[in-house]
Chains A and B, each alone.
Chain A
């Protein structure tokens, strides 16, 4: 299981938790599993999020691998100028 950290504003959509356990092998599976486990997160995730895996910020790639000991954070979607 991968521990996924949510930003504080998402706690109320995940039973008050800021860390949830997800079975996943890549970023796409994390996002799918989060939507299935906590349907209220679906709108936020569909609007666009980034994911940090072991300090590397994945802006959009769903196939980036994650491992059981990976440090994973859900982050706001990154945009630049």
Chain B
């Protein structure tokens, strides 16, 4: 059910495309990113990392490094909290984070941190880590998910599996998920055709251009300051405090401008290490990762191995869907096998569906979120099989998806009934789009895919302070990873009735607002947006009271219209409107500063769907794929700043093109990462991409005052599948493994 006061039309500012507030700073170099902060007496940090995939640390001797001139501090695991123990349940994750940022008794992957140095220059720090002596006892390792689940596989760590894991699986399986409804065996019997197939995807990195970087200051009195690039500085404050035995409120964290996150900056890597070095040296410490460190030691996606079975009638009705999704998440639990399984069949209304997800440990870095974690891989597998069924039954792929599409009231594959959703609208828009009917040449193929993501609310606090000159300052606690400052200003302008450029939105530090959940789950425009609207309403309420006091009438007799307080009707009296500026210019003398607040955990984020159309051409001699045309159609609920929404759609498609065609973590038989740099790990260049067309569908989310749905993640759900379907059509052979790199396509064509 929609919010009682949901607004669907009559917007003055929302839906316009003003200039971005951070544009000038970013194009002139004035914007300060993670590595751009300096402090007097600042030291530089460097981290020693394991060259082995799996090894026991028998000896760690820092004495030679300590003697090097310029070295001021060296930290190892002994310099972090000793209260955090390996345990089970919710407390295990804190131990996992600690173990990941600094190894204990064993190193668990190539790149795992072992010790860190702070020195007077970055060069001395890097020289010093070479003087640290580590004696490793190399242990058997495993980096492939199927190999990790096999009988006799090297075990990454005993005792990690939680209660969900059934008996009979080895200790690398950390979690197990099983869900669905109906009876798939009955459904398969009703099918005219069943297609069963297996798929694999490699781990990919978010590829943010700015590496992890921070400047930390921590005294022996337990008071600290941290400047860092992050998607969630309140979480960083909480987890750093825990890892270093600090009181949370004594550590103030400020988020820098962020050079890309995409989920990869939702957890700490270098920040607790820099704080520990600062505490030990009593000097500020800057730590900046190299690109190689970013690849080796931060969080890429899971890699996957998936089995899909779908039954379909001749008329296109899907009778049953079944999927098994095995995700490796590196050396720690947390791979989203559960969400992958839950998203897999969500676009379709199925009587019979069954899905299983595994979270599997290997000797790789701890996976991290990457836009809609798990959903893109699930869509690749499921939508490939649907495409194959459509081909074999000679059915139109959009008509089949429309026939089976989830709608309001559909029982979702993960359980509950959907509220208002916009999947059908995206499919109808795709069917009518000129792209879908454009002719193709020989050697070219067209692919379609739907995609689904949940979206998220989370703790949110916003404050909106009015100035005497009638302008407004919004403080939010969610780092701006996709244009949110602009969207917040537009929503506040809509409520307050003052121009967009009279409002400045700032990402406040952790001492300024209550706890704000990380900028993840496509939550910011939804949750911080809702909070901004409510904070503006709170400010308007206070403004109206000042007007009522001035007029000598009850506050209830005042309403807010076009940026002014006015009498609510003829019975309220005959008074000239009082503008926001009229009311703020003397606010110090009429009751004090006027600030609107809102703090809550909004729970109406609503889910989101998209449909993508892709044309591709494959060179059969070299296996090179060219993406010829790409169209993204997605439900935004309500687009606050359409240019940013389109940017999110295009960004998801661009990253999906890289994931589908070229990007992959390549491990050698020694368990070491072979391509830890952008020369060997190939993200798409501008020359690889076509113009990505976008269509914004707006089916309002009932849980937001303006109907907003998050848009940041769903855009990466369909590309892997849509591109695979286009490439498979162009090559004339089904591609089952990502990336569809030239060697893999040539091998597939040769094996035809």
Which chain A residue has the least Cβ–Cβ distance from B368?
A: A81
What is the distance, in angstroms, from B2's C-beta to the closest C-beta of chain A? 11
Q: What are 13 A-B pairs with beta-carbon distances under 8 A?
A: A9-B178, A43-B162, A59-B457, A59-B458, A64-B603, A71-B417, A73-B415, A76-B338, A81-B262, A81-B264, A81-B266, A81-B369, A81-B373
Contact A44 B164, beta carbon cutoff 8 Å:
yes
Chain A residues positioned under 8 Å from B415 (CB to CB): 5, 7, 52, 73, 75
Contact yes or no, A8 B178, CB < 8 A:
yes
B98 to chain A, nearest CB (A): 18
B180 partner residues in chain A, CB cutoff 8 A: 8
Mark out the residues of chain A between 32 and 81 whose CB falls within 8 Å of any chain B CB in the assembled complex: 40, 43-44, 46-48, 52, 54-61, 64, 71, 73, 75-76, 78-81
Q: Is B179 interfacial (CB-CB < 8 Å)?
A: yes
Chain A residues with Cβ below 8 Å from B162 are 43-44, 47
A-B contact count (CB 8 A): 116
A71 to chain B, nearest CB (A): 6
Q: In the complex the two chains form, what is the Cα distance from A44 to B88 in whole Å?
A: 10
A80 touches B713 (CB 8 A): yes
- B325 vs chain A, min Cβ distance (A): 13
The smallest beta-carbon distance between A12 and chain B, in angstroms, is 8
Set of chain A residues within 8 Å of B457, measured between Cβ atoms:
59-60
Contact status B601-A60, CB under 8 Å: yes
Which residues 11-35 of A sit at the B interface, judged by CB distance below 8 A?
12-13
Interface SS of B by simple majority: loop
- Any A CB within 8 A of the CB of B199: no
Q: A9-B164, A9-B178, A52-B416 are in contact. Are A78 and B456 (CB under 8 A)?
A: yes
Task: List the B side residues contacting A13 at CB < 8 Å.
Answer: 163
Cβ–Cβ contact B88 & A80, under 8 A: no
- Measured between beta carbons, the chain B residues less than 8 angstroms from A40 are 163
5 tightest A-B CB contacts, nearest first: A81-B263, A80-B521, A81-B369, A9-B178, A73-B415
Interface SS of chain A: mixed
CB within 8 A of A81: which of B164, B371, B607?
Answer: B371
Q: How large is the interface on B (under 10, 10 to 19, 20 to 34, 35 or more residues)?
A: 35 or more
Whole-angstrom CA separation of A55 from B418 in the bound complex:
5
Verify if B419 is at the interface (C-beta below 8 Å from A). yes
- Identify the B interface with A (CB < 8 A): 88-90, 162-164, 166, 176-180, 206, 262-264, 266, 336, 338-339, 342, 354, 368-373, 414-419, 453-459, 520-523, 601, 603-605, 607, 703, 713
Q: With both chains docked as a complex, state the minimum distance between the C-beta of A74 and any C-beta of chain B, in angstroms.
A: 8
Give chain B nearest CB distance to A50 CB in angstroms. Answer: 9
Residues of A within 8 A of B338 (CB): 76
* A61→B600 CA distance, assembly (Å): 10
Choose from A7, A47, A61 the contact partner of B89 (Cβ within 8 Å). A47
A residues engaging B (CB < 8 A)?
Answer: 5, 7-10, 12-13, 40, 43-44, 46-48, 52, 54-61, 64, 71, 73, 75-76, 78-81
Distance of A48 Cα from B93 Cα, bound (Å): 11
Residues in chain A near residue B372, CB distance under 8 A: 80-81
Cβ A55 vs Cβ B416 within 8 A: yes
B129 to chain A, nearest CB (A): 31
The residue on A at minimum CB distance from B518 is A80
Please tell me if the beta carbons of B177 and A7 are within 8 angstroms of each other in the complex. yes
B703 close to A56 (CB less than 8 A): yes
What residues on A are CB-neighbors of B416 within 8 Å?
A: 5, 52, 54-55, 57, 71, 73, 75
Which residue from B90, B520, B603 sits with its C-beta under 8 Å from A79? B520
B711 to chain A, nearest CB (A): 12
Taken together as a complex, chains A and B put the C-alpha atoms of A39 and B208 apart, in Å, by 43
C-alpha spacing A71/B417, complex, angstroms? 8
Q: Which residues of the partner chain B approach A47 to less than 8 Å between Cβ atoms?
A: 89-90, 162
Q: In the complex, A52→B413 CA distance in Å?
A: 13
Kindly state the separation between the CA atoms of A80 and B178 in the bound complex, as whole angstroms.
Answer: 20
